[in-house]
A and B are shown apart, each in its own frame.
Chain A
Amino acid sequence: MATYKPVVVQAFPKLGERITKDTAYWRGYKTPVQIKEFGAINKIDFSPVPPYNYAVTASSRIHIYGRYSQEPIKTFSRFKDAAYCATYRDDGNLLVAGSEEGSIHLFDVSGRAPLRQFDGHTKPVHVVGFLSDKYRVFSGGDDYSSNLWDIASATEIVSYSEHTDYVRCGCASKVNADVFLTGSYDHTVKLFDARTKSSVMTIEHGQPVESVLLFPSGGLLVSAGGRYVKVWDVLKGGQLLVSLKNHHKTVTCLCLNSSGQRLLSGSLDRHVKIYSTTSYKVVHSFNYATSILSLALSPEDETIVVGMTNGVLSVKHKKPEERKEKSQKKRQPAYRTYVKGRTYMPKQEDFCVSKPVKRVLRKYDKLLKSFQSSKALDAVLEPPIRLYTPEVTVAVMQELHRRGTLRSALAGRDEKQINLLLTFVARRVIEPRFTPVLVTVADMITDIYQPVVGQSAIVDRQFLRLQEAIGKEIDYQEELLEVLGMMDTLFATFTEKRATYLEENKSNGLTETIETNMNN
C-alpha cells in the first residue's frame, strides 16, 4: 500500500551568480561607512598591533582613525604640501611619511612633532617604508633614486639611482632585513640588497608599475601596472608565474588578506577584485562609486578600507557572527530527555525494533490528502508562502488543475480573496517558470468571475492590471522574437558552407523558453 505522496514543488535552476564560500565570506560585511577627506587618498595603512588603528594619507594630512571611529583620533598636519605614504613600523609605534617637497618625516604615534626628518631627495617622495629590522627606512622619489636611511642618526646609508623614471611604489621583505624592492614608471621592479652597491634583480613588468607586494614567505612578488597584475617567482630569478588581466583600467593598489590565501587588487575602474592565490581566479569582486587609489585590509579581515580619488574613504566592517539566539528562546526538552536512549549502542545479539518515522506533511498536503481543494488553495495563498515561495503556490495550483478541481477551488470567493488571487497572478504570470499554470488560472478566474465584473472597483482594477501585465509581456516577447530572427540570419550566414536544413542550436534553454512562452 502506497503512502500519500506530497506535492512535488519543482526546483528551477538559479540563474546568475553562483554562491560559493568566497561570495558568502566577502558578502559578510556591513554597508560601508563613508568618510570625506580633503583630497585623493594615496595610502591607507593599518597598525599591526591592536587596536588596529589605521593611518590615512590624503592631501597634506595624515589622519589616524580608530577601528569604529568616524572622526580621526589623531592628525599629523605639519606638511607644507602633500604628504605621501604614511606607513607604520612593525611595532606600531613609529610612522613614516614622504612629502611633496622631498623630505621624509618620522613621527611617534603618541607624539605630535616629527622625531626625525630625512632630507636628500630632490623631488617628491612617493614611497617610504621600514625595513624589517625596524632601524632603517627605505624611500623612493620622483628623482629616480631609491634611498636607505638610518633612523638613529637620520643619515642616508645608501642611494641607488638605477631607475630611469619616477619611483612610485615599494615594499620591504619580511624575512630578510636587508632586502627591499621598488617599482617605477620605467616599467621595472628592482630588488635591492642593502649590503650590495647595486640592484640584485630587475623584473620587467611591461607597464608603469603602480604597486608591488611581496608574499609573507618572500618567495613570490606581485606587481601591478597598467591593466595587469603579474605574479613573479623571486626565488627562480624573477620568472613570470601568472599574468592577470581582470581590470579594464589601471590597477592602483594591491593587498593580501590576513591568511595570505586571497589577493585583492583595486583599480581606477572602480572595482576591487579578489583572487585566490592558488588558482589565480577571481572569486569575488566589489564595486565602488569612483576610482580606487588605495586599499587596506585589517588583520583578521575585520575591516576593508578603500580610498578613492574624490577623497572619500569607504570603511566596511565585518558583520558579527550570527548567534543562534532564536533557537535558544524556544523552549526545548531538557538535554537529558533528548539524548535518552540515543547513545545506546545495540549489541550484536540485540533485537532492534524500529519505530516508523512519522512523516510531517505541510498544511496544504494534508488538505490535498483529504481532497479539500479550496482550503488547500487558501493555505498556499497565506502571505509567507505566497510572497516567499511562490513556486509552492503555483505547484499546488498545478496539482489542483491535474485533479480537475481547480475551477471549483477558484470559484465562490469574496472580493478580498479575488483581489488577493488576482494580485498574485498579475505579478507572477510573466515569470516564465509560472506562465503555463498561471495563464490557465487567469483564464479560469476571468471565466468564473465574468458576471460580477463592474460590481467591485478593487477587482476591476486588478483585472486591468492583469491585462496590462500580459500586454507588456506580449510586446516584450515580440521584440525578443525579432532579435531571434536577426540572430538566425547571422547563424545562417555563419553556416553557409553547410546544407541549409542543418540548424546548429546551442540550446541554452533560452530559445526554448521563449518559444513555449509564445504558445501561451
Chain B
Amino acid sequence: MVAPATLRVVRCGGSTLHGARAVFSADSYLLCAAGDFVKMYSVATEETLRVMGGHADLVTGVQLNPHNHMQLYSSSLDGSIKLWDFMDGIPIKTFTVGSKLLALYALASSEDSVFVVIPKSGERDTFQLVSVKLAKAAGQDLEAKELSVVLDGVDASPKRIAFGREGEYVASVKEVNLQVFFFKRKQLNRFSVSAIKTKSGNNHFTCIACHPTEDCIATGHADGKIRLWRNFYHKKDYTFSTLHWHHDTVMDLAFSMEGTSLLSGGVESVLVLWHNESDCQKDFLPRLGSAIEYISMSSDGALCCTLHTDNRITIINSNLRFSKSIQGLIKSTDVKTGLVVDPRTKALVLNGEPGHLQFYCLQSDQQLFSLDIVQRQYIHQAGLNQADLVKVAFSAQGKWLATVEEREEVTDPELQLKLWFYDEETQSFKLNTRINMPHEDHITDMCFREMDELEDDSLILVTAGRDCVFKVWVMVEDTDPEAQQSVSWSCDFVGSYHNYQATNCCFSEDGSLLAVSFEETVTVWDSVTWDLKCTFCHPPGKIRNICFGRLTCSKYLIGATDYGFLCCWNLLSCALEWSAHLNVLVLQPDPLSEHIAAVSWLSKESSLFVFKPNEPRPIYIQRNLCKEKIQLAAFVPRDEPETIGSEKYHWLRRSQLFFLTDTQELMTLSTKSLEERLTPSSKQLAVEESLPVTPFSLLLGKHRRQQSQEDIDLGKLVHNKHKQDSPAVKELLHTPAHVLPSASFLCPIFINSLLISKENKSAEEVADEVEMESEKTEDDSDEERGVTEMEQEDTSPMELLGEMTCKLSKSQEKELRKIRKMDYSWISAF
C-alpha cells in the first residue's frame, strides 16, 4: 500500500521574512513574504494562519490587488507573478514574465498592469522598472509578455522606488542620484546630492518614500540623514530639508496615511516618529531588538509593523506603543551554540537575539521562550564587540543548563561560564553559578556527563579550551545552612596533553569514559580517577568531531579529521576498526539508536551519510542534500515512533534529523510525500476551521455525540452519513446572528434537518443533484465576488455540499437559499 517513498528535504522554518515589505490586509491580517512562501498572520493572535506556496524561488514582492482587496499579487525570482485569494489560500492566476522579478508595485491608477523591477537584458547589475500588462484571459497560467520600460538604471532593492500620490509620478534612487518620472507629462527629472564620505559612511540614498497627499519625497541616506524633497517639478528650483537623528544607515521610511508624520528606522533598532516633518518634534520607540529592515503601515493607519533583520515582525500601535511581536526561528548572525535539543520540552535551542538563547518549538514553528543569558544591554551599533553566547549544554534530564558567553577582545577575551538550574516553580532556568574566566582562552567544547540515574552527584561538566587544558567541574554542596543555595559548581580537575589545544570533548554513553581531542590526538580518560587510558591518532589532520557509539556499538569511538577522514576506533582492542575518506562537516549521533549521521561537503553540495559504527558501509546515502553548506545538525526524538515502510529509512523511525544551513534555513528529512503534508492546509477551506465555539454549537455537539452513540446502539440501522452536518445547521451556525431571520421562521427547518429522513434515495442520485446545485452556487459566487467578504464566507459551506450527501429535500434547500438571498439584500441596504 505504501509506495516506496523517497526522502525529501523539507524546509521547516527560519526562512527569511524580509524579502519584501509586509502588507496589512483590510481586515487585520498581515501578509508577508517568507522565503518561497507568502505567509498570512493574524494581527490579533500572532498566529500563522496560512502559508501560500507555489513559487519556485524567493518571493520578492507582496502587494494587495488595488481593485480587489481580497486578492494579492506576489512576485518571485522565478519570474512569475501570482494572484492569490488569500482568504482561501488559493492561487487564482499565474502570470509568467520570464525574467527575474526583484520588486513589485501595484497601483490603483493603473488599470490592469503592475510594475516590476527586472534586470536589464544583456547587462549585469543594471535594472529597470517596467510595467507589466496582466492579460484578462481565462485560465490559470498566463503569459505576461507586454512589458514597457518606465525607468532605466534603477536599484534592485524594492525600498528604492516609490510611487507618488495617486500614481502621478514614480521616484527612484540609486547611489547619489534621485530621479522622478511624471507619468502624465512624460517628464524625467534628475537630482543628485554631492557625494561626501564621512567617518560614519557616505551619503548614498538607501530608501525612499512618497507623501500620500502632497508632492513631497522623503529619502533616507547611509549617513543617517533624511531629506525631504519638495518642488521637484522644476529641475532647478527644487528644495530639500534635512532631518538628522540616526547615526547609522536609515533602513526604511514610511509616511503615515495622512502624511502628517514620518516613520524611520535603522540599524539602531529605534523607530523614530517625526511629527509634521520638523526636526524638533519626534518620538521614539527604542530597543526593538534588532535592526529594522522594513516599515509598513496599515491602510487605516491604526497599526504599523516593522520587519527586522532577525526574522521578527513587530506590530506597533499608532500611538507608538509596542503591541505584538511575531517571531518564528530568530535568525542570529552566527549560530555559535550549535543545535541543541532541550530534553524537557524537545525544543530546539540555539542563539536567538544577541545574548539570548531561543527555545524554538519545531511543531508549531514558534518561539517558546527566550532566555536572557548575558543580561546586559545590547547596543545596536556596527563594529562593537559585545558579549555573545557561544556554547550551550543541557544535562540529561534538562535540569541543568550550562552556557558560555565570551567577548572577543584583542588582548584578553572576556569569558563567563554560567550554570543554570531549572526551577520547577517558575518553570524557567535560574542562574546558579557564574564562573569568570573558566579558561584563559576560548572554550571550544563543553559537555555534561549524561547519566540517566537520578542522583545529582554524578553530574559532571567538562569544558575544553584553547588554553590547552580541559577542566572538570563538579557540584559542591554548601555546608553553611544559612547560605542561599545549597549547591554550587567548582573545578575538580584540570587535564592536559602535551600542551596541545583541546578541541572536542565527549562522554561515552555510560559516562565511564571521557574522550577529549587535542589537535591531532584523541585521548580517552577514566571519568572516576581521571587517568589517561589510551590515545588514538590518525595523522595527518586535526580532529574535527568525535563521538562515541551508542547501545550495541558503545565500544566504538568515531572521529572525523580535517584531512577528510572518518575513523572508527575500537575501544576494546585500542585499534583502528575502519576509516573512510570523507570530508565530514557535521557528525551527529542519534541519542535513541546506534545510527550516526555524517554530513559531508563535496564539490559544492552537501551529502548525508548514515551509518552504524560496527560496519563501515553506510546504511543510507543521500547525495545533493542541498546546495548550501550545512552548518549544524540535530536529532530530535519523535513523540511517538513513526511507521516507516521502507527498511532503508528505518533510522528515521524514532528521531527526526534537522539541519541548519549557512543561510539559516532549518530543514528536515521527511518520508511523506508532498500531498500528504499539504492536505490539511491547501484544500480545506477557511470556514471549516474557524467554526466558532458558541454555547449553541457545544449543545449541538453534545446532542450529536449522543445521537451517534445511539446510532451505534441501534446497530447499523442508520448510515453514518448522519454524523455529518446538515447544510441547514451549518448555515445557521455561520450566519451572524444579527442577519438571521426570526427564530420562529428558522425553527421548523432546523428541526426538520435534525430528523432522520425516511426516504432512502440512492447515494448516486443525491450526489448528482447536489453537485448541480453547488455548481450553480459557485457561479453565483463568481458574480458576487468582491462585493463583501461575508458573502464569500457564506457561499463556502454550500461548496462543501459537493462532498457530503444531505438529507434535505430539494424544496427545503430552495427555501433555505431564498432565506439567504433575502437577508443579503437586507445587508446591502446598509
Contact = CB atoms under 8 A, between A and B. Distances in A.
B536 to A, nearest CB: 17
Contacts of A499: 532
Interface stretch (B160-168, B285-293, B786-794): B285-293
B376 to A, nearest CB: 6
Contacts of B322: 1
A433 B386 CA distance: 20
Contacts of A3: 287
Interface stretch (B135-143, B219-227, B490-498): B490-498
Interface in B427-468: 436-437, 440
A403 B383 CA distance: 10
Interface string A1-36: 111111110100000001011000000000000000
B440 A516 contact: yes
Given A504-B493, A516-B437, A2 B289 contact: yes
A484 to B, nearest CB: 15
With most chain A CB atoms within 10 A of its CB, the pick from B412, B471, B531 is B412
B179 interface: no
B407 interface: yes
B377 interface: yes
B491 A507 contact: yes
A501 B482 CA distance: 41
Contacts of A7: 376-377
Contacts of B384: 402-404
Contacts of B386: 402
A502 interface: yes
A512 interface: yes
B375 interface: yes
Contacts of B123: none
Interface in A482-509: 499, 501-505, 507
A519 interface: yes
A503 B385 CA distance: 35
Interface in B392-429: 407, 412
Nearest to B387: A402
B437 A512 contact: yes
Contacts of B372: 5
A486 B374 CA distance: 39
A368 B378 CA distance: 12
A1 B287 contact: yes
A4 B377 contact: yes
B379 interface: yes
B383 to A, nearest CB: 8
B314 interface: yes
Interface in A453-467: none
B496 A501 contact: yes
Interface string B494-526: 111110000000000000000000000000000
Per DSSP, chain A at the interface is loop
Contacts of A66: none
Interface in A357-412: 368, 399, 402-404
Interface in B280-300: 285, 287-289
A432 B407 CA distance: 20
B375 A502 contact: no
A504 B494 CA distance: 7
A18 B480 contact: yes
Contact of B495 (A1, A5, A502, A515): A502
A436 interface: yes
Given A402-B407, A505-B494, A516-B437, A1 B289 contact: yes
A515 B412 CA distance: 12
B498 A5 contact: no
Contacts of B437: 512, 516
Contact of B376 (A5, A20, A436, A512): A5
A404 B247 CA distance: 15
Contacts of B497: 501
Interface residues of B, number: 37
A505 B387 CA distance: 29
A436 B480 CA distance: 32
Contact of A8 (B325, B375, B491): B375
Nearest to B384: A404
A401 B778 CA distance: 68
A507 B490 CA distance: 8
B353 to A, nearest CB: 8
B821 to A, nearest CB: 44
B700 to A, nearest CB: 29
Contacts of A5: 372, 375-377
Interface in B17-36: none
Contacts of B375: 5, 8
A343 to B, nearest CB: 27
Given A1-B289, A436-B412, A499-B532, A505 B377 contact: no
B318 to A, nearest CB: 16
A502 B495 CA distance: 7
Contacts of B482: 20-21
Contacts of B288: 1
B440 A501 contact: no
Residue of B383, B387, B436, B440 ringed by the most chain A CB atoms within 10 A:
B436
A2 B352 CA distance: 14
Contacts of A2: 287, 289
Contacts of A501: 496-498, 532
Contacts of B471: 507
Contact of B493 (A1, A402, A505): A505
Nearest to A433: B436
Given A8-B376, A505-B493, A1 B440 contact: no
A499 to B, nearest CB: 7
A3 B381 CA distance: 18
Interface in A77-126: none
Contacts of A404: 381, 383-384
A506 to B, nearest CB: 9
Contacts of B532: 499, 501-502
A6 B532 CA distance: 46
B494 A403 contact: no
A501 B496 CA distance: 7
Contact of B379 (A21, A403, A503, A505): A403
Nearest to B289: A2
A403 B412 CA distance: 17
Nearest to A498: B531
Nearest to B407: A402
Contacts of B325: 1
Contacts of A18: 480
Contacts of A516: 412, 437, 440
B496 A1 contact: no
A404 B532 CA distance: 45
Nearest to A11: B434
A507 B412 contact: no
B374 to A, nearest CB: 9
A404 B387 CA distance: 13
B309 to A, nearest CB: 16
Contacts of A21: 482
Nearest to A6: B377
Nearest to B490: A507
A20 B497 CA distance: 44
B494 A1 contact: no
Given A1-B288, A2-B289, A501-B498, 8 more contacts: A1-B322, A7-B376, A368-B377, A399-B376, A404-B381, A501-B496, A501-B532, A516-B437
Interface of B: 285, 287-289, 314, 322, 325, 372, 375-377, 379, 381, 383-387, 407, 412, 436-437, 440, 471, 480, 482, 490-491, 493-498, 530-532
16 contacts: A1-B289, A2-B287, A5-B375, A5-B377, A10-B436, A399-B376, A402-B379, A402-B387, A402-B407, A403-B381, A502-B495, A504-B493, A505-B494, A515-B440, A516-B412, A516-B437
- Which 7 A-B residue pairs are closest in the complex by CB-CB distance? A1-B322, A507-B491, A505-B494, A5-B377, A2-B287, A403-B379, A404-B384
Interface of A: 1-8, 10, 18, 20-21, 368, 399, 402-404, 436, 499, 501-505, 507, 512, 515-516, 519
